[in-house]
Chain A
Amino acid sequence: MKFDTVIIGGGLAGLACGIRLQNRGFKCAIVSAGQSALHFSSGSFDLLNELPDGTAVANPEKAIHLLDKKHPYAKIGDKFPVYTQEAKQLLLDAGIEVQGDSKRNSYRITPMGTTMPTWLTLTDFTTLETPNEVIGKKILLVNIAGFLDFNTKFVADAFETNGAECKIISVSLPEFEKLRQSPTEMRSANIARVLENENTLNALVAKLKEASKSFDTVALPAVFGLSSNDPVKKIKQLLDIPVHIIPTMPPSVAGIRTQKRLRRVFELAGGFYMLGDSVVNAEIGDGKIYNVYTVNHGDIALYADNFILASGSFFSNGLCASMDGVTEPVFGADVDFDPNRNTWYNASVFGAQRYRTFGVATDDQFRIKINGKVQDNVYAIGSVLSGFDALQEGCGAGVSLLTALYVADHLKK
């Protein structure tokens, strides 16, 4: 099989890159092993919340000049503001409704009820201007009875700290009984599936209307809309008071929807998405890759002019750590890491972790190297890259989107 570009990894970076390339007239295939980090996302996209030294960032566009030259953003350089605009537009064009500004971080509400800075937030959720803003004075905090991944007590505690008054209730509908019979089924995506049924959603809304009479705000867990944000819109429309959707613990219903949307848009643009497949081998020539072989396609090679590695970090198996090193399993690309294992970790689980800055080494065009030699037609994008700690800096989604678009624009036919 012959493509213009083969992308390895079908998460945020791979899909954004694939959509952009299809729109530029490239014929792309994406090889995706399965779920991506989007399935576990917060419903927001971070751009840059903190510098590596811990300094808070209010305006990401201004702060990127302070980053080390190894940081992926430093390679994008002056085009950074252009690509933030285009990344946002790509999401909007895909029908993924987001709000936010790359010149000014806003705040999202976490599943703990606290706030975190962010760039773009799905319109399901609430965007706050300041970290201590309250969503209401008298809040009715609702959970689905028996749903353990939405911690109403924690959320109420955080809201009350900022001066709101909360009442917690659980609602139950007969439609959930079937889920409940299995001890492991009361999870966000399953609940969302039940609520896809319009009658069930209406029954829930009726209960909420009754219960929220003496309140000025309703807060609900994000268990709505696996394929569109219509259920959220409907609830907001039918209730007379403001409704706020609060993220839950994973899986993320809004994240699953985002993933589905991006894949759909990629396929509608003519892209070929190979789900449940993974690259097992590659034919590597002199500074160039000719083709890759996958599990599902056996001895049928995928040929392409260019290859893009968007295989994610350790969690996604884009990087593999052993006792004495870190490798990139698809191409055996050179990886930036420290061979001394004692330096990889911070004793505090919440601290910056050095291992998270490890990743594939690239030149200034994001081309990978094998044994020190730059590969002319192989690029790396997203979390597989080295030079940043996505969690500490709060820049994971931004790096994925921006490197994807940057690389897509620099490919030549």
Chain B
Amino acid sequence: MKNCNSENNEFDVIIIGGGITGAGTARDCALRGMKVLLVERFDFAAGATGRNHGLLHSGARYAVTDKESATECIKENMILRKIAKHCVEENDGLFISLPEDDINFQSKFVESCQAAGINAQIIDPAEARRIEPSVNSTLIGAVKVPDGSVDPFRLTLANIIDAKANGAKVLVYHEVVELIKEQGRIIGVTVVNHKTQENNKYYAPLTINAAGIWGHRIAEMAGAKIGMFPAKGSLLIFGHRVNNIVLNRCRKPADADILVPGDTICLIGTTSSHVGFDEVDNMRVTSEEVDLLLREGQKLAPALATTRILRAYAGVRPLVAADNDPSGRNISRGIVLLDHETRDGIPGFATITGGKLMTYRLMAEWATDLACKKLGIDKPCVTMTEALPGSREEEPMPKGKTYDLSNRIKRSTVGRHGDMASKIASDNEFDNSLVCECEDVSVGEVQYALKELDVHNMEDLRHRTRVGMGTCQGELCACRAAGLLSEAHNCAHQAKADLAKFLNERWKGMYPVAWGEALRESEYTQWVYSGICGMNKMEEK
């Protein structure tokens, strides 16, 4: 039985998952005229999307072992530089050979890159040292490739903003608890609103599962089985940019061999290990992983040994076994699009998974093409040329303001929001007052995020603005931001609980690396919030 106000509950397509794949698919579907609903159980980019290197792969890493992935990467790399320039840093990358590496691998590597269409150039080690002074000076070879950095939070949000601008409905903190079946066909979803605990039903002729590793369970709800394997990858974030060019090892892909500069920090990763499905919601980085990341990272850039570590975190990549290989030994890192109607006899349901951050747009295109086919829509994909909001204008700052942000803050906000920075109030001194001094986040920017960017809590706010992401990891800005949050949502009680949760989340990433300066900072934060504010006792109450 459908609800009376069925208008509002009926869509052309329902997308499950607010990571980059779901966001990209929602945007593509909306651009092609579909009535779209996207549901996400937490916040945007809360899963694997927000827990990776933020590397704009040139594809070089895969050139030798997986030409198809390499070719996809370089194509998407070039597209993202155009359509998402406010999310991308064109840093370039170096693949270095160290004395312990086989230098003969280099020629094979360059050949493979060129075959995949990647502009890879061998440069002299001395030249490599000149353009990237942090590089291990004992290197014996270097290849320059068009790697870069990409901010996955910004990229996801830009897709969401554009999807909404094209009519998509987006529900965060709404978890799918049931796929509605009628005569063997999936006709919709039941979601629980985590804020109100209410259940709602939504209907569409097609539901697309874009839930990453959690899509395993969604598929099971539909009665389909996908051979997925959660692969944990741990990373370390350092307090500043040690390097300005992405550093990789010129060898077969291994643990901890990519150092990526991004925004104000740089990060090393990843480790790689299979974990159980019971662990995917509570990833913790072990001290062994930290030790390994540091040991290997120092080989790329020796300065890491003395650089302050901000935090450690881990993501879960969904590895998918090929359908003809139930043992799971033949695992693909490529894009997997499953039409469950033809595969499992379950009409109305599809899964888009595998792939990587780099190829999200292509994944979205494939999934949307399938949706078009199912719904009889004949419209071409335009996402390879249509720029995302934030990257549309050349000169993003508005003119004619009586009082401008100081240049430094201006650079930060434009960097984070691109041409959307013009929506950030900067009319007076109140708006310009800084909430977060590490990352130059103003009151105006926080209020813009609270009003316009689906911010429900402190974690959301951090993802939108970088509040609490700097060296102090939210020491004083957390409390200031919580104050603004409680004013915007008019609920101090909730904001206090949220502040406590936020501080715990920050600590979770800090304690695996809490020695030296990081421990000093942590002790101070604990002194402020437990000692002075008494929040340790509030939690008990």
Q: Is the CB of B479 within 8 A of A249?
A: yes
Residues in B with CB closer than 8 Å to A321 are: 514-516, 519
Number of interface residues of B (CB under 8 A): 56
Residues in B with CB closer than 8 Å to A95 are: none
A149 on the interface (CB 8 Å rule)?
yes
A196 to B294, CA, bound (A): 51
Q: Is the CB of A146 within 8 A of B532?
A: no
A376 on the interface (CB 8 Å rule)?
no
Q: Is the CB of A391 within 8 A of B526?
A: yes
A342 to B285, CA, bound (A): 11
Contact with A along B9-28 (1 / 0, CB 8 A): 00000000000000000000
A120 on the interface (CB 8 Å rule)?
no
Residues in B with CB closer than 8 Å to A353 are: 526
Stretch of B188-196, B341-349, B499-507 that contacts chain A: B499-507
A146 and B533 in contact (CB under 8 A), knowing A153-B483, A184-B437? no
Stretch of A235-243, A292-300, A310-318, A363-371 that contacts chain B: A310-318
Contact with B along A231-251 (1 / 0, CB 8 A): 000000000000000010110
Q: Is the CB of A349 within 8 A of B430?
A: no
Q: Is the CB of B529 within 8 A of A350?
A: yes
Residue of A184, A252, A356 near B523 (CB, 8 A) is: A356
Residues in A with CB closer than 8 Å to B298 are: none
Closest to A340 in B: B287
A171-200 contacts to B (CB < 8 Å): 177, 180-181, 183-184, 186
Q: Is the CB of A322 within 8 A of B515?
A: yes
Q: Is the CB of B535 within 8 A of A350?
A: yes
A181 to B516, CA, bound (A): 36
A249 and B476 in contact (CB under 8 A), knowing A110-B532, A344-B514, A345-B511? yes
A40 and B524 in contact (CB under 8 A), knowing A151-B479, A342-B287? yes
Chain A interface size band reads: 35 or more
Residues in A with CB closer than 8 Å to B430 are: 145-146, 180
A164 on the interface (CB 8 Å rule)?
no
Contact with B along A103-141 (1 / 0, CB 8 A): 000000011101110000000000000000000000000
A154 and B529 in contact (CB under 8 A), knowing A313-B523, A391-B536? no
B303 on the interface (CB 8 Å rule)?
no
A393 to B484, CA, bound (A): 32
B394 on the interface (CB 8 Å rule)?
no
A347 and B511 in contact (CB under 8 A), knowing A148-B443, A154-B496? yes
A395 → B minimal CB distance (Å)? 11
A55 on the interface (CB 8 Å rule)?
no
Closest to A176 in B: B429
B457 → A minimal CB distance (Å)? 15
A214 on the interface (CB 8 Å rule)?
no
B134 on the interface (CB 8 Å rule)?
no
B473-532 contacts to A (CB < 8 Å): 476, 479-480, 482-484, 486-487, 492-493, 495-496, 500, 503-504, 506-508, 511, 514-516, 519-520, 523-532
Q: Is the CB of B500 within 8 A of A40?
A: no
B2 on the interface (CB 8 Å rule)?
no
B537 on the interface (CB 8 Å rule)?
yes
Residue of B287, B405, B506, B527 near A37 (CB, 8 A) is: B527
A344 to B520, CA, bound (A): 14
Q: Is the CB of A148 within 8 A of B539?
A: no
A156 and B492 in contact (CB under 8 A), knowing A111-B533, A151-B483, A342-B287? yes
A128 to B432, CA, bound (A): 38
B136 → A minimal CB distance (Å)? 20
A153 and B487 in contact (CB under 8 A), knowing A148-B435, A249-B476, A350-B500? yes
Residues in B with CB closer than 8 Å to A323 are: 291, 294, 515
Q: List 6 A-B contacts (CB under 8 A).
A: A114-B538, A148-B435, A149-B476, A149-B480, A347-B508, A350-B535
Ranked 7 nearest A-B pairs via Cβ: A157-B492, A349-B507, A350-B536, A180-B429, A116-B534, A148-B480, A345-B511
